[in-house]
Structure 1
Amino acid sequence: MQFTGAFTALVTPFKDGVIDEERYRELIEWQIEQGINGLVPCGTTGESATLSHEEHREVIRICVEQANKRVPVLAGAGSNNTKEAIDLTRFAKEAGADGALLITPYYNKPTQEGLYQHFKAIAGEVDMPFVLYNVPGRTGTNMLPCTLARLFKDIPQVKGVKEATANLTQVSDIIEQCGPDFQVLSGDDFTVLPLLSLGGCGVISVVSNIIPGKMSSMCKAFKEGDIATARKLHFGMQGLCRAMFIETNPIPVKTALSMMGKIGLELRLPLVPLMENNEKTLRCCLQSHGLLG
């Protein structure tokens, strides 16, 4: 399986309104040094919704270049406009990404048949591995297990799903209906360990922006059958996972990275800085986990 273990849904650092390439490259390098298994540029955590198409392409290009095939790059390339998704996916392939992360179309709320036809249309134009992204809390649409099973059966490019419902019944249904070769990645940091126990293969993580080594170590421990270590790491990360969602992602994780000196704190509207009380809570959490000097 190509997409296994802990993949970081990378933040996009900004400086004075533009991409901070230097800090972005440093963040990617640190992630790889810490043992992360893969990288995801231009996901939700990367503020893809407020990147121009030119910036979107630049973020993918930088990530692929910096990773330099040391770990897989799964590039965010989805859209609620099928033609736009085709164009972004084509660029991801041309840039050298190992796969494309394709979100279910948001706002226009397609039916299950519409979801199927959307991904089929992209596959008709671009031949590269796809990991579909199901996050109803952001899109308003839940891609059902039967739809995923149909896509996996009919479309060779479809290799797996980032499942961000936090619904373990749905995860179980997906694995049951799609079989063991379908790669199910958690899109929710709280449920990685139970998802692995059902037959999932990893996570696309927010919290691994700040603790890449711990998240990858938990996935590795589980894979090696060291359940006690995996469970210890799971519970050890829960406080940080909660802190990463104290307000809308990626506000807390970018704030945390700035407190750690990894990036400057700059968000794009409509995202705004943490409320003062939440900033204090986050700082205390980072200090208690030994992440601040």
Structure 2
Amino acid sequence: MSLKSSLRGTGVAIVTPFNEDHSIDFEALGKVIDFQIDGGIEYLVTLGTTGETPTISKEEQIQIIEYTYERVGGRVPVVVGIGGNNTLAVVEMLKTFPLQKATAILSAAPYYSKPSQEGIFQHYKALAEASPKPILLYNVPHRTGKNIDAETVIRLAKEVKNIGGIKEACGNFTQFAHILRDVPEDFLVTSGEDDIAIPQIAMGMQGVITVAGNAFPKEVSTMVRLALDGKFKEATSINNKILDVFTLLFNENNPAGIKAFLFEKGLIKNELRLPVVPLSSPNHQKIKEFLRNYIA
């Protein structure tokens, strides 16, 4: 089964909850996972960058993967985030992490190094050859410092067997159109940008991997299903209700914004690992006010 069919709809890049001593709060993680599935999302993404993976040890990452499989219990597909700018280290993780129950691997483009397009191609080719599961590219240049150009995405899609799709978050609609036009028919193209997911779906993307869905799984997944069914007026109506959420999430950084929402909903403690810190009081207050006035 191609990723285009198995990962159609809404995937949530879930947070990693922490206790006050910054150990992993597995009880809260279980609550978050159940909240997503009960809210109607199609799949989960664990250990994405929203999960603060740069601050989580390999041993902890393995524990989180195994716990996620156990808690999900086959109810929805699980995508595992594994990435970095040391290709050999990522390859080693792909060979040694417990990935048997994963549907795919989400891997962000190498950050900071700013490799050439050929370097990006060779990086993903090495990952695809090592991975026991299909690779989902993740293009987020405002964080990594380097765009995966449309031509590179299309080349990877056509030439590398184990590359199954892309989470696209470059913000460039011309690039989206290029990719959607030229990739193979069974190649998954999904949004990585909550605020423009509806027009991206209108262009032909198959859904979204969302941050906002952590706190609003029912709203986001319903909105995406409506958009995929061509019911854009109804989808936009839901989008308008949560439009301010997209700003509140990223006022300071991710995942401080979404963790504040989840804290106010009673799902997690408002704890993050340095260098990320909780939202400032004024921005946290804005989230409290939004939730106080929100009518589901």
TM range (shorter): over 0.9
Match of 2:70 among 46, 53, 65: 65
Q: How many Å separate the matches in 2 of 1:271 and 1:137?
A: 17
Residue of structure 2 in register with 1:269 after alignment: 274
277-286 or 205-214, which deviates more: 277-286
1:133-191: CA deviations, max 9, x gaps? 01111111100111011101111211111111122221111111214422111111101
SS at match of 2:266: coil
Deviation at 1:240, TM superposition (A): 1.1
Tell me which amino acid in the other structure corresponds to 2:84.
Answer: S
Q: How many Å separate the matches in 1 of 2:27 and 2:238?
A: 31
After TM superposition, the structure 1 = structure 2 runs for residues 1-293 of structure 1, keeping only pairs within 5 Å, are 1-15=5-19, 16-92=21-97, 94-290=99-295
SS at match of 1:18: coil
Q: How many Å separate the matches in 2 of 1:277 and 1:26?
A: 27
1:86-115: CA deviations, max 9, x gaps? 122234553521110011111111110001
Is the contact between residue 6 and residue 37 of structure 1 (CA under 8 Å) also seen in structure 2?
A: yes
Q: How many Å separate the matches in 1 of 2:220 and 2:56?
A: 27
Tell me which amino acid in the other structure corresponds to 1:186.
Answer: S
SS at match of 2:40: coil
Tell me which amino acid in the other structure corresponds to 1:5.
Answer: G
Q: How many Å separate the matches in 1 of 2:99 and 2:147?
A: 30
Q: How many Å separate the matches in 2 of 1:91 and 1:163?
A: 27
Is the contact between residue 79 and residue 104 of structure 1 (CA under 8 Å) also seen in structure 2?
A: yes
Give the superposed CA RMSD.
Answer: 1.4
1:44-75: CA deviations, max 9, x gaps? 11001111111112222211221122111111
Count of residue pairs the alignment pairs up: 291
SS at match of 1:109: coil
Task: Find runs of 4+ consecutive structure 1 residues off by over 4 angstroms.
Answer: none
Is the contact between residue 246 and residue 252 of structure 1 (CA under 8 Å) also seen in structure 2?
A: yes
| TM-score after normalising by structure 1 | 0.95
1:268-288: CA deviations, max 9, x gaps? 011112111111111111222
Q: How many Å separate the matches in 2 of 1:26 and 1:231?
A: 29
SS at match of 2:205: coil
Is the contact between residue 128 and residue 134 of structure 2 (CA under 8 Å) also seen in structure 1?
A: no
Is the contact between residue 6 and residue 204 of structure 1 (CA under 8 Å) also seen in structure 2?
A: yes
Is the contact between residue 104 and residue 133 of structure 1 (CA under 8 Å) also seen in structure 2?
A: yes
1:8-41: CA deviations, max 9, x gaps? 1100001122110111011101110110111111
Deviation at 1:227, TM superposition (A): 2.2
Q: Percent identity?
A: 38
Q: How many Å separate the matches in 1 of 2:121 and 2:45?
A: 23
Is the contact between residue 93 and residue 99 of structure 1 (CA under 8 Å) also seen in structure 2?
A: no
Deviation at 1:2, TM superposition (A): 1.7
Q: Any gaps of 5 or more consecutive residues in structure 1?
A: none
Is the contact between residue 83 and residue 108 of structure 2 (CA under 8 Å) also seen in structure 1?
A: yes
